[in-house]
Chain A
């Protein structure tokens, strides 16, 4: 409707102040990307220990360490994005529980404590039974830790593109994609069958995420004029159209094809290439989706 109005009125803003630029920049992309790997690895470790307990047993410690590294990377970039990082402690001393940021910070902190517990049982105590018991609860907590960013984006009600149901699914798919990709690269001693099953998870999560993004692209404009305006940045000659499609191909389309190819030729090298592309592409996909709603003037 706005397009017709604009054509008829030729309304132009002739005097206004400079509007804020990108408020949540690449640091927030890093936050989401690193968190997807951090929680995804734990999900995949849980899966491998259930499905292939003998050959994946030696991944307990290394996977936990990699998860710790990426979760700390997520926390570091969260902190770096704050304009007042030295006041981070306010979240713990003045918590506001309606905020997904507060709930997420508390859950992520507990998640880190549990990861350290897992590392302790694995490296110091060498007690696999206790490790597995703690890992079960860590996986349970990992689910809301993965999802809370979707709640946060949904609470940013000004940005209509980010709807909780779709974003929740995308966050979970990103964790599965990143987790399976990381585990393919990490699990050098895993059998081809185990790696192949990780490839199936990678391929299916890529396919589902791709379908969701394409659905948003095609059917999103039916929601509201704001979504039409935002999606225009990734359509046609839009400012972020090239980056959007690079992300879609590198994160989803190419890994899907490569996973299929690796299965037909039982090639681990192709599977590893798919994993690397998925991890790189995921960053691009997340970044585009983070930035485009911020380009729209709110007033």
Chain B
């Protein structure tokens, strides 16, 4: 079994339900996110369009975070999930530096690395990840990539030619796919980050966001 995720960006409406469900399920501290939805506005008024992209750990088959972790705190589960043992983590932040997707952060409460685990604890109890359950439009599709009859395998089959991963040139073989995504949604360099535009770019929290301050 190799579990994977697919987000149909045609369906996502940016409600952030998945983001909140993840926060609640995994008790993710303030100022940090295992899953987030990024809004990118395209075009000039009145010809404008808004895109929504949920971003989480890609659970790569060739995971740089697993390779760089000096104590195997980041490790593969048999079902393909890249899991984290927070009791073992020494907080070197090598994984934060290695992840090409910016999916790992330092938990300000435990001072250890943390990230999306595809809700491994729920999977172990035969439940779906919290974000999948919360999505009102079923834009999150989760399942076994090795099972040709699973929802995710069939979705990939049905949308051949429109299935993409982020930064394929990194050779990480992500187990996280997008349908209906383009350069704007998947390439962070394809959009500007202008101060004053993003709602949360003036954080006043004293809690570290993963780096040193």
Q: Which residue of B lies closest to A104 (CB)?
A: B70
The residues of A that contact B187 with a CB separation of less than 8 Å are 2
CB atoms of B199 and A225 under 8 A apart? no
Q: Indicate whether B101 reaches chain A with its CB closer than 8 angstroms.
A: yes
CB atoms of A91 and B102 under 8 A apart? no
Among A107-115, A120-128, A151-159, the one that faces the other chain is A151-159
Which of B69, B91, B101, B199 is within 8 Å of A83, CB to CB? Answer: B91
Known pairs A23-B211, A25-B211; A90 contacts B192 (CB<8 A)? no
Q: Which residue of A lies closest to B170 (CB)?
A: A157
Tell me how far the C-beta of B125 lies from the nearest C-beta in chain A, rounded to whole angstroms: 27
Q: Indicate whether B24 reaches chain A with its CB closer than 8 angstroms.
A: no
Identify which of residues 105-132 in chain B touch chain A, using a CB-to-CB cut-off of 8 Å: 105-106, 111-112
How many A residues face the partner with a CB closer than 8 A?
54
Bound-state Cα–Cα, A114 to B159, Å:
60
The residues of B that contact A96 with a CB separation of less than 8 Å are 69-72
Chain B 159-200 near chain A by CB (<8 Å), digits 1 or 0: 000000010011010000000000110011111111001111
CB atoms of A82 and B102 under 8 A apart? no
Q: Which residue of B lies closest to A22 (CB)?
A: B211
CB atoms of A11 and B112 under 8 A apart? no
Which of A14, A15, A94, A299 is within 8 Å of B88, CB to CB? Answer: A94
Q: From B50, B64, B69, B188, name the one whose CB has the most chain A CB atoms within 10 angstroms.
A: B188
CB atoms of A21 and B67 under 8 A apart? no
Known pairs A9-B184, A13-B38, A18-B200; A297 contacts B193 (CB<8 A)? yes
Known pairs A18-B201, A81-B92; A25 contacts B67 (CB<8 A)? no
Q: Indicate whether A19 reaches chain B with its CB closer than 8 angstroms.
A: yes
The residues of B that contact A10 with a CB separation of less than 8 Å are 42-44
CB atoms of A16 and B36 under 8 A apart? yes
Q: Indicate whether B206 reaches chain A with its CB closer than 8 angstroms.
A: no
Q: Indicate whether B3 reaches chain A with its CB closer than 8 angstroms.
A: no
CB atoms of A99 and B192 under 8 A apart? no
Known pairs A82-B92, A94-B72, A99-B94; A12 contacts B211 (CB<8 A)? no
Chain B 3-41 near chain A by CB (<8 Å), digits 1 or 0: 000000000000000000000000000010100111111
Bound-state Cα–Cα, A221 to B92, Å:
30
Bound-state Cα–Cα, A299 to B89, Å:
24
Q: Indicate whether B93 reaches chain A with its CB closer than 8 angstroms.
A: yes
Which of A91, A155, A226 is within 8 Å of B98, CB to CB? Answer: A155
Q: Indicate whether A98 reaches chain B with its CB closer than 8 angstroms.
A: yes
Bound-state Cα–Cα, A14 to B42, Å:
10
Q: Indicate whether A57 reaches chain B with its CB closer than 8 angstroms.
A: no
CB atoms of B96 and A23 under 8 A apart? yes
Tell me how far the C-beta of B91 lies from the nearest C-beta in chain A, rounded to whole angstroms: 3
Tell me how far the C-beta of B115 lies from the nearest C-beta in chain A, rounded to whole angstroms: 12
Q: Which residue of B lies closest to A225 (CB)?
A: B189
CB atoms of A299 and B55 under 8 A apart? yes
Interface residues of A (CB under 8 A from B): 2, 5-6, 9-25, 27, 81-85, 87-88, 90-91, 94-96, 98-102, 105, 152, 155-159, 224-226, 229, 294, 296-299
**28 A-B pairs (CB sep. < 8 Å):** A2-B190, A5-B190, A6-B190, A6-B192, A11-B40, A11-B184, A12-B41, A13-B38, A13-B192, A15-B199, A23-B96, A23-B106, A25-B211, A96-B70, A99-B68, A99-B70, A99-B94, A101-B68, A102-B70, A152-B68, A156-B98, A157-B170, A158-B98, A158-B101, A158-B170, A159-B97, A226-B189, A298-B101
Please provide the 5 A-B residue pairs with the shortest distance between their CB atoms, ordered closest to farther.
Answer: A83-B91, A298-B102, A20-B210, A21-B211, A15-B39
With A11-B184, A158-B98, A296-B188 given, can you name 11 additional A-B contacts, CB distance below 8 Å? A6-B192, A9-B190, A12-B193, A13-B192, A15-B198, A16-B193, A21-B209, A23-B96, A83-B106, A84-B89, A105-B70
